[in-house]
């Protein structure tokens, strides 16, 4: 597998280099030089394969030559050891549940795969790998669990003070060992910008071996393609082959992975990018003007992103042709008030408890159905996190019905440890220089 930069298509690096560099020096993002199309026979018979068989087929096509196939297979089997069921809610609506991993969010697919890929390529005698990660809530917890105790690695998680839920914060701040948390007096975008500045700092890079565990890292995106193929396989088993995916979006890594799967031959009629009022992408699709804005706080906090990192990847997949992109991607935004209405409506209609991010994906699907009533398809909305991570958002009658898995109950008993920091880069650099 070779990768270029979205800012320089003549660059060509191998997979391990792209993983450890995270970002090319020209500040673009790595993308595969060629996107393999999966054979039609596999797609036609995909319903006969398990999640790990599908994951191996997809990953081996993408990562061709990056490592021996048996090593890739054992990484996949170790990393993806939980299910991603498609649960039917009615004849043409289903929810793809992506919260059955250890951190209770879809991030476990990317974080577990990435940590194993990095551990595989790391050599014992090399300098400690410093993994930096900015989180608006869920990435940090998944990355912490993915890297906890991995030799030769040290993880620094930056999160916006007061803007993540209590459970999310405990997932970031109670791990100890090689996991360190920084509570930043700012927004997620400030955290993301601090991390990006560290990558561009020659002095720091001469001292530390830095890498990113955010979705700017291509090894986070690849495993997220697996569950789109696997969802399609499940739908086929139910006799359904026309699918629209509605994806709750913030940094746009999840939907970028879906679109990569589409380019590899997954037959999807439409992708819906569902956002909260941090609506940089819906505004761009409406007006043609791409203008980032400071993020504002919402109930769907993990989607509070004003400058979505992966949008450049999506434009690159469509050769920067907005009209071609709009054939495949539709986008809607929703307010907190609408999110609450969505949570209530899903509960009333289906007796199903959806987290606020998931509710936004459902609302977007409803809007799409209103505008496309004449087309036959199954609408699948992605449930990206377990509702128990956001209990304060729910009205009491729903909140009391939320089940709390054991790993969450255990967290509540653990002491929280985080260092507070301002948003200036010098403070962050001084912190890293203490390592």
What is the rounded distance in angstroms from the CA atom of residue 100 to the CA atom of residue 85?
9
For the chain, the 3-state helix, strand and coil shares in percent, each to the nearest 5, are 45, 15, 35
Beta bridge partners of 5: 8, 30
What is the rounded distance in angstroms from the CA atom of residue 423 to the CA atom of residue 421?
7
Q: Is 196 in the site for ligand PLP (CB under 6 A)?
A: no
Q: Is 253 in the site for ligand PLP (CB under 6 A)?
A: yes
384 binds, options ligand PLP, ligand LJ64HWYM, none, Cβ within 5 to 8 A by partner type: ligand PLP
Q: Is 22 in the site for ligand LJ64HWYM (CB under 6 A)?
A: no
Residues contacting ligand LJ64HWYM: total by CB under 6 A: 13
What is the rounded distance in angstroms from the CA atom of residue 171 to the CA atom of residue 101?
13
Token pair listed for 129 = 């790998």
Nearer to ligand LJ64HWYM, 189 or 240 (CB): 189
Instruction: Report in angstroms how near the CB of residue 302 gets to ligand PLP at its nearest.
Output: 3
Q: Look at residues 254, 251, 246, 257 and name the one whose alpha carbon lies nearest to residue 278.
A: 251
Q: Look at residues 387, 43, 65 and name the one whose alpha carbon lies nearest to residue 228.
A: 43
Contact (Cβ atoms closer than 8 angstroms) between residue 23 and residue 192:
no
Q: Is 180 in the site for ligand PLP (CB under 6 A)?
A: no
* Largest interatomic CA distance in the chain: 61
Determine which residue in the list 24, 137, 223, 356 makes contact with ligand LJ64HWYM, applying CB under 6 A. 137
Nearer to ligand PLP, 295 or 432 (CB): 295
Q: Which stretch binds ligand PLP (CB under 6 A): 2-10, 51-59, 243-251, 345-353?
A: 243-251
First to last CA, the chain: 34
Q: Which stretch binds ligand LJ64HWYM (CB under 6 A): 65-73, 132-140, 237-245, 337-345?
A: 132-140
Instruction: Report in angstroms how near the CB of residue 249 gets to ligand PLP at its nearest.
Output: 4
Q: Which stretch binds ligand PLP (CB under 6 A): 23-31, 34-42, 122-130, 242-250?
A: 242-250
Q: Is 343 in the site for ligand PLP (CB under 6 A)?
A: no
Nearer to ligand PLP, 105 or 432 (CB): 105
Q: Mention every residue, 6+ apart, whose C-beta is less than 8 A from residue 103.
A: 111, 138, 141, 142, 144, 145, 171
385 binds, options ligand PLP, ligand LJ64HWYM, none, Cβ within 5 to 8 A by partner type: ligand PLP
Of residues 303-322, those binding ligand LJ64HWYM (CB under 6 A): 309
Residues contacting ligand PLP: total by CB under 6 A: 17
How many Å separate Cα 165 from the centre of its chain? 18
Of residues 241-280, those binding ligand LJ64HWYM (CB under 6 A): 250-251, 253
Nearer to ligand LJ64HWYM, 21 or 139 (CB): 139
Instruction: Report in angstroms how near the CB of residue 359 gets to ligand PLP at its nearest.
Output: 11
Contact (Cβ atoms closer than 8 angstroms) between residue 222 and residue 112:
no
What is the rounded distance in angstroms from the CA atom of residue 365 to the CA atom of residue 89?
13
Contact (Cβ atoms closer than 8 angstroms) between residue 38 and residue 55:
no
Contact mark string toward ligand PLP, 294..313, x via CB under 6 A: --------xx----------
Query: Scanning the structure block, which residue is given the tokens 């006969």?
Result: 48
Token pair listed for 134 = 């900015």
Nearer to ligand PLP, 119 or 328 (CB): 328
Q: Name the CA dihedral angle for 202, 204, 207, 213, rounded to a multiple of 10 degrees.
A: -100
211 binds, options ligand LJ64HWYM, ligand PLP, none, Cβ within 5 to 8 A by partner type: none
Q: Is 214 in the site for ligand LJ64HWYM (CB under 6 A)?
A: yes
> 199 — phi, psi (to 5°)?
-65, -30
8-state DSSP, 392: G
What 3-state class would DSSP assign to 159?
Answer: strand
Nearer to ligand PLP, 101 or 253 (CB): 253
Q: Is 138 in the site for ligand PLP (CB under 6 A)?
A: yes
What is the rounded distance in angstroms from the CA atom of residue 100 to the CA atom of residue 97?
7
Contact (Cβ atoms closer than 8 angstroms) between residue 349 and residue 343:
no
Q: Is 165 in the site for ligand LJ64HWYM (CB under 6 A)?
A: no
Q: Beta strand 270-275 with 243-248: parallel, antiparallel or unpaired? A: parallel
Instruction: Report in angstroms how near the CB of residue 302 gets to ligand LJ64HWYM at its nearest.
Output: 4
Binding site for ligand PLP (CB under 6 A): 105, 137-139, 215, 248-254, 302-303, 357, 384-385
Binding site for ligand LJ64HWYM (CB under 6 A): 135-140, 214-215, 250-251, 253, 302, 309
């Amino acid at each position: 597998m070779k990768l270029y930069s979205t800012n320089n298509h003549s660059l060509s690096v191998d997979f391990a280099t792209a993983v450890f560099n995270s970002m090319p020096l020209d500040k673009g993002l790595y993308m595969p030089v060629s996107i393999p199309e999966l054979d039609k026979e596999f797609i036609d018979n995909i319903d006969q394969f398990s999640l790990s068989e599908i994951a191996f087929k997809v990953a081996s096509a993408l990562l061709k030559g990056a490592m021996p196939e048996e090593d890739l297979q054992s990484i996949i089997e170790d990393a993806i050891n939980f299910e991603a069921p498609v649960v039917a809610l009615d004849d043409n609506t289903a929810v793809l549940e992506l919260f059955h991993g250890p951190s209770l969010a879809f991030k476990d697919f990317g974080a577990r795969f990435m940590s194993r890929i990095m551990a595989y390529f790391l050599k014992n005698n090399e300098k400690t790998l410093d993994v930096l990660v900015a989180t608006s809530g869920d990435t940090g917890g998944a990355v912490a669990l993915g890297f906890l105790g991995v030799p030769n690695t040290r993880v620094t998680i930056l999160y916006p003070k007061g803007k993540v839920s209590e459970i999310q914060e405990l997932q970031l701040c109670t791990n100890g060992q090689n996991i360190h948390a920084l509570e930043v007096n700012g927004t997620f975008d400030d955290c993301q910008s601090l991390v990006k500045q560290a990558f561009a700092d020659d002095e720091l890079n001469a001292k530390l071996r830095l890498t990113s565990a955010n979705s700017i890292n291509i090894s986070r995106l690849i495993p997220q393609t697996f569950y789109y193929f696997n969802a399609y396989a499940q739908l086929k088993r139910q006799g359904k082959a026309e699918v629209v995916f509605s994806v709750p979006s913030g940094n746009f890594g999840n939907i970028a992975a879906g679109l990569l799967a589409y380019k590899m031959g997954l037959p999807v009629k439409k992708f819906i990018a569902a956002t909260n009022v941090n609506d940089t992408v819906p505004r761009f699709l409406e007006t043609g003007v791409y203008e980032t804005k400071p993020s504002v706080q919402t109930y769907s906090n993990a989607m509070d992103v004003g400058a979505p990192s992966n949008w450049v990847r999506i434009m690159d997949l469509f050769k920067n042709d907005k009209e071609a992109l709009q054939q495949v991607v539709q986008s809607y935004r929703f307010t907190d008030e609408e999110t609450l209405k969505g949570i209530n409506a899903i509960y009333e209609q289906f007796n199903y408890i959806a987290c606020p991010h998931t509710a936004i994906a459902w609302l977007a699907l409803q809007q799409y159905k209103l505008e496309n009533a004449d087309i036959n398809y199954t609408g699948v909305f992605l449930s990206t996190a377990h509702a128990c991570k956001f209990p304060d958002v729910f009205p009491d009658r729903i909140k009391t019905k939320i089940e709390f898995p054991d790993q969450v109950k255990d967290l509540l008993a653990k002491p929280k440890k985080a260092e507070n920091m301002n948003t200036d880069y010098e403070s962050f650099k001084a912190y890293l220089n203490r390592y």
